[in-house]
Amino acid sequence: MRIDIITIFPQMVEAGLAEGVVGRARTRGVLDIVVHDLRAFTTDRHHVVDDVPFGGGPGMVMKPEPLFAAVEALTERRGAPDAVVMTSPAGKPFLQRDACRLACLGHVVWLCGRYEGIDERVHAALATEEVSIGDYVLSGGELPALVMVDAVARLVPGVVGDEDSIVADSFSRGLLDFPHYTRPAVFRGMRVPDVLLSGHHGQIGRWRRLEALRRTAERRPELLATARLDEDERQMLRELGGSSARKDSEGSE
Ligand code: JBZ
């Protein structure tokens, strides 16, 4: 998969892509990720990428010309990308299903916003989607782009070593993950649950599904409305009791 990231802080983005599974996939040639300095696509002496907002008000707005020039230069060299993602606090939420959709594409470009925002014509005529990682105030789109690229990249075959761990991940089944333990079996008086030491794989699997359901009901009850549960899990949820033990069709809230 080919990914291009266009930013005014290329070193910040490069640092986030250098290590871990994504960094290794890059060095192995499984992922072709290139970070571009937006200022390289300006034509003025001072490499200006922002300007005052029409209509007045505080802060600056990212100019459209360098962003269009960057994507057009990429299009000339590599062909038109399959998607152009614009990070923005005003975007739709970026969810696991978006990561899955983008991971199936051959070539995706990310545009990182800075200042008060990006000229709306970038959304209208250059980006194919405008997405946000969550409801908190950030100072730019570089960290959101890194979050999204990480979520996409680990779904590309060969990036994560153990395919099973992708399937087992939180959200792949729409539930929070179960609790994990490693040695020692007793640490500062806190014991690992006996079932995990039993070697009984049927019971261990059942315990993990129950704990995943318990956590989800406790921390993210709204996820239960869309989680893919089998009849066994629906029964476990009823046995957990309380208002969180509602049926799929009844929805959340
Ligand atoms: C994002 C204009 O720069 C920003 C500022 C905040 C921000 C982004 C870009 S993208 N927040 C998010 O994904 O939530």
Give 150-174 pLDDT, tens digit per residue: 999 999 999 998 876 776 676 768 9
Residues 11-27 have pLDDT tens digits of 999 999 999 999 999 99
Say what the pLDDT of residue 173 is. 82
| Gyration radius from the chain CA atoms | 22
**Separation between Cα atoms, residue 121 and residue 126, nearest integer Å:** 7
C-alpha angle 116-122-124 in degrees, rounded to nearest 5: 120
CATH of 2-153, one of 3.30.300.30, 3.30.70.3040, 3.40.1280.10, 3.30.1180.20: 3.40.1280.10
Helix ranges (H only) for 154-200 are 163-168, 194-197
Residues 44-95 have pLDDT tens digits of 999 999 999 999 999 999 999 999 999 999 999 999 999 999 999 999 999 9
Q: Does the beta carbon of 138 lie inside 6 Å of ligand 1?
A: yes
Q: Is the pTM of the predicted complex or chain greater than 0.85?
A: yes
Q: Does the beta carbon of 147 lie inside 6 Å of ligand 1?
A: no
Name the residue with tokens 């300095």. 37
CA distances from 28 to 22, 23, 198 (A): 10, 9, 39
Name which of 166, 159, 148 is nearest 26 in CA terms.
Answer: 159
The residue to mutate among 88, 112, 130, 147, having the most atoms of ligand 1 within 8 angstroms of its beta carbon, is: 88
Structural domain spans, the chain:
2-153, 186-252
- Strand 117-118 to strand 61-62: parallel, antiparallel, or no bridges (unpaired)? parallel
The Å distance, Cα 232 to ligand 1 centre, comes to 41
Encode burial over 152-171: b for 16+ CB neighbours within 10 A, e otherwise. Answer: bbbbbeebbeeeeeeeeebe
Instruction: Classify domain 186-252 at the CATH superfamily level.
Output: tRNA(m1g37)methyltransferase, domain 2 (1.10.1270.20)
CA-closest residue to ligand 1 atom 12: 132
pLDDT band at 223 (very low <50, low <70, confident <90, very high): very high
